Structure 1
Amino acid sequence: MALVAASSSSSAQSLPKKYDVFISFRGEDTRSNFTSHLYDAFCRKHIITYIDYQLPKGDDISQSLLQAIEDSYISVVVFSENYASSRWCLDELTHILHCKSVQRQIVVPVFYKVEPTHVRNQTGNYMQAFEKYERDRLKFPEHKIQMWKQALHEAAGLAGYERYDSHTFSDESEMVRKIVKDILQELNYKYPPAELNGLVVVGIVVKLTS
C-alpha cells in the first residue's frame, strides 16, 4: 500500500492517540451515502473512528473538533463536489495538514464524484467556491484564501492516492473495501492483533474497552 506520513520527530508520532481515524467530509454531499457506508465499514472492522454528524454552528470550527483531529492517527478526507464551499471543511483540512507536518499524521484523500485535478487546481465547482470567498474579502482575507488553496493543492497531490477516485472503481462498495483494507494494514503496525480484536463500537465514536 502507499499510505504516506510526513517526516517529523518520532516522539510526536509515538504519543498514544484516542482515535484511529478522523473523517473529514461535506455533510450535504456524502453524509447519507458514501461517508455513512465508509464509517459503517470502519465500525465493522473495529477501527476506532471519529465522525461529526452535527452541522457546525458559528464562524469557526470547535476546539473539540480540532482536538479530535490531533487525537487521530489517520485522517480520511472525502473530497466531494461541494467540499470547498464549506469553510469549516477547509479549516479542518488545514489543521489536518498541520498535524501531518508536526505529528506525522497519515492523510488519506478520497475523491468522491469529483476530479482530483479540480481539487488540486481549484477548477470547476472548487473555483466557483473560491470566487464567492474572494468577493467577500472582509470576511475572508487574502491570506486565509491562499492558505485554503494551498491545503487543497497539497492534499490532492499526495503521491499514491488517486486510486481512491470513485471514477476508477466499479461501485462505491469496492472503493470502501479498498480504503478499509489499506487502513487496516496500516493500523496493524500500531496494534498487536489481540488488541485489534478487543475493540468495540460505542455510539458515533468507536472506543477501546478497558
Structure 2
Amino acid sequence: MMKSSDVSDLRSRLKWDVFLSFQRDTRHKFTDRLYEVLVKEQVRVWNDDVERENDELGASLLEEAMEDSVALVVVLSPNYAKSHRCLEELAKICHLKTSLGRLVLPIFYEVEPWIFRKQKGPFEMDFKEHSKRFSEEKIQRWRKAMNLVGNISGFVFRYGFQ
C-alpha cells in the first residue's frame, strides 16, 4: 500500500497525476465531466482525446503517458471490451500496477464489477468476436487484466447516471 508521501514523491517526478482510460462510448456522458472536474482541481490529467493530436503517434505515446502517471483511472463501461485498444491499455495498466506499484482506480460505469471481472453479459460476445481475430494468448492476457481490475475496489455508477 502506498503512503501519501510516496504519492507526493511520484507526483514530483512524473508528468501526469492521472492517466484517464475509457471506451469512446462513455465520452460526452461521463468522462468529459470527470476530466473537467479533475482539471478544475488542478490535477494533471492525460486524456488521449485532449492530449493526442496525431493518431499516428499511437501506442508508444499512450504507453509513455501511462508510465509517466501517478495513478491510472479506468472508466469501465458495458462496451469497454468491444475495443481491443482498450483491452491492450488495460493489460498495460495491470502490468504497471504489478511491476511499478502504480495506483489503479476503476470506475464501473453502468456495469457491475462482478460482470466485468467474470466477463459475463456483454463481455462474453465481445470475447467471442475477438477470438476470431486475436491469439488465445492475447485473449487470456485481456481476460486476466479484466479479472484483476474487476477485483480492485473502485466506484460504481449505476444505470441512468447523467
With normalisation by structure 1, the TM-score equals: 0.67
Q: 2:105 aligns with which of 103, 108, 113?
A: 108
By how many angstroms is 1:89 displaced? Answer: 0.4
Residue aligning to 1:70: 67
Which of the pair is proportionally richer in helix?
2
- Equivalent positions of 1:1-210 (< 5 A) are 14=10, 16-27=13-24, 29-53=25-49, 61-134=58-131, 136=132, 139-158=133-152, 160-161=153-154, 164-167=155-158, 171=161
Residue aligning to 1:197: none
**Contact 1:21–1:72 at 8 Å: present in 2 too?**
yes
Letter in 2 for 1:152: M
Deviation digits for residues 62-98 of structure 1 (CA, Å, limit 9, x no counterpart): 2011000000000000000100010110111111111
Letter in 1 for 2:73: V
Letter in 2 for 1:131: K
C-alpha separation in 2, matches of 1:132 and 1:55? 30
By how many angstroms is 1:61 displaced? Answer: 4.6
C-alpha separation in 2, matches of 1:56 and 1:117? 36
Deviation digits for residues 21-75 of structure 1 (CA, Å, limit 9, x no counterpart): 0000001x111110000000001100000001169968x9520110000000000
- Alignment root-mean-square deviation, CA: 2.5
By how many angstroms is 1:107 displaced? Answer: 0.1
Q: Which has the larger radius of gyration?
A: 1
Instruction: List alignment gaps of at least 5 residues for structure 1.
Output: 173-210
Q: Percent identity?
A: 34
Instruction: List alignment gaps of at least 5 residues for structure 2.
Output: none
**Contact 1:56–1:88 at 8 Å: present in 2 too?**
no
